[in-house]
Structure 1
């Protein structure tokens, strides 16, 4: 039995669907049902489900708003994960916690590995880094799964924004000096469902891992792929103009390099994400009614 916290988010929804499709027993709770900063509520959820693994898919993800909503970001990304990990430790239940590329500053020229020092640029990244630390401090029986540039069928994400703008505008201006690995929620959900039974029986697998879509691109390259994939279906082909980060200032700084080396995860669990371009094409078709 897998217990999913953060059921209403884009990953939480995808994970429920994937678990149902694979006939994996699971229970899922939204923020309204279980507030992750409430240790009593988290403990009652574990008591009610007696899971073999807990997945924390809950998070505060508004990167720019976090610069102002500091306490909300702390509660969702630092305090909540620590509470969950503490309850899991008391119940001797393994925890899978989702983290982010934003714990790094993006200054490294090569792909990031798990042992690279973290240096977040903004409030969102700092609170996610603090959440990782809180999980590690509370329980040894954890997997911290860092991922990046997450998109999918549910919730709000870059791919869905580009599809909407492609319908509305003839020109899209997209940053081309930030690189990363777009990662579909379908792949993340599959990764979690592969991790869960393994860590329930093999304590040697606990630790921090990077997991992201295969291959790397820029936001501009990602947007181009989305536009190209939807054009034959919608008949719309706006131009995609490359701009710099300086041309599109945001309250929170983004890492220039968010590319992950995922070889440790591949060696440990025998699984890797699909090429980001293939997953992008597939999800565009689903969202435009052609999948």
Structure 2
């Protein structure tokens, strides 16, 4: 039986993957764009949910990800990442619909010697992380059927992200400087979407409880090593890849402080939802191949 899924968001990385992968996973998905579900107007958002019947699960794929911008003005981040999800969670709870909400590794301070677990204390270093943590708390307190999924370094081969930023340097620069002291879990948007669809099925069927989970690809890596692997994958399509020059974060100052090691342990997610997460390297190969399709025979000018 095909179940009905409501996705908040339409054009972003995650929403795009959810729309494409929903049907093979047994879902009939409806994606709402900003005109239908405006996270800056919570009352309109609640109305958009209330007007749809027969929904088995809702996935929130909307977020304000302007990490540096939030340091100067955190109001958009608080509205989109915290206040709107709080209203949404309450509306879903009133209709007994499980809500799947996506959060971030940036809720952690990044000083751990290993991967963070769900039970570790969250202490964000920046305003963006604080807004996401506020959203987590609001969603989880609204219903035991709701679930929050922390992910990290999401990418694909089409949208603006770290991978496509690196690929755009091919044929343009001889070398790129990338920080070497920030460690995390690169996660293809398809990996995140597949995991969420699996979890949504379990939550809708009542075969699993909600709660807090980490959902990203295994294999923590530094930003600079991640960039080097991107270019190794791209070397199958072009010989024009730049060299990666590792640098400390101090040499790349930004308004918002980033966690040094925000790698996440996802064993709880895999066990709870019976879903194995693929290594991030497979996602890089997929993203680079997708990007290469746009080179149209001129890989040196993507």
TM-score of the pair, normalised by structure 1: 0.95
User: 1:113-262 to 2 correspondence within 5 Å?
Assistant: 113-202=117-206, 204-262=208-266
Kindly state the Cα deviation for residue 289 of structure 1 after the two structures are TM-superposed.
1.2
Q: Secondary structure at the match of 1:102?
A: helix
CA–CA separation in structure 2 for the residues paired with 1:239 and 1:98: 34
Higher fraction of helix = 1
- Structure 1 residues 33 and 290, CA, compared in 2 at 3 Å: closer, same or farther? closer
- Structure 1 residues 39 and 162, CA, compared in 2 at 3 Å: closer, same or farther? same
- The size of the alignment, in residue pairs, is 291
1:210-252 per-position Cα deviation (integer Å, ceiling 9, x unaligned): 1111211100011001111112312212110000000101111
Q: Secondary structure at the match of 2:177?
A: strand
Kindly state the Cα deviation for residue 47 of structure 1 after the two structures are TM-superposed.
2.6
- Structure 1 residues 242 and 42, CA, compared in 2 at 3 Å: closer, same or farther? same
1:57-85 per-position Cα deviation (integer Å, ceiling 9, x unaligned): 10100111111231111111011110110
Contact 1:35/1:42 (<8 A) preserved: no
Contact 1:60/1:72 (<8 A) preserved: yes
User: 1:21-170 to 2 correspondence within 5 Å?
Assistant: 21-22=24-25, 24-36=27-39, 37-170=41-174
Q: Secondary structure at the match of 1:67?
A: helix
Match of 2:274 among 270, 276, 283: 270
CA–CA separation in structure 2 for the residues paired with 1:41 and 1:180: 32
Contact 2:82/2:132 (<8 A) preserved: yes
2:13 maps to what in 1? 10
Q: Secondary structure at the match of 1:140?
A: coil
1:130-170 per-position Cα deviation (integer Å, ceiling 9, x unaligned): 00011122222211010111111343210010000223211
1:25-61 per-position Cα deviation (integer Å, ceiling 9, x unaligned): 1111012221134234433334324311010110100
Q: Secondary structure at the match of 1:205?
A: coil
How much is the aligned-residue C-alpha RMSD, in angstroms? 1.7
Question: Structure 2: which 5+ runs fail to align?
Answer: 296-302
Q: Secondary structure at the match of 1:271?
A: coil
Contact 1:10/1:153 (<8 A) preserved: no
1:285 maps to what in 2? 289
CA–CA separation in structure 1 for the residues paired with 2:137 and 2:158: 29
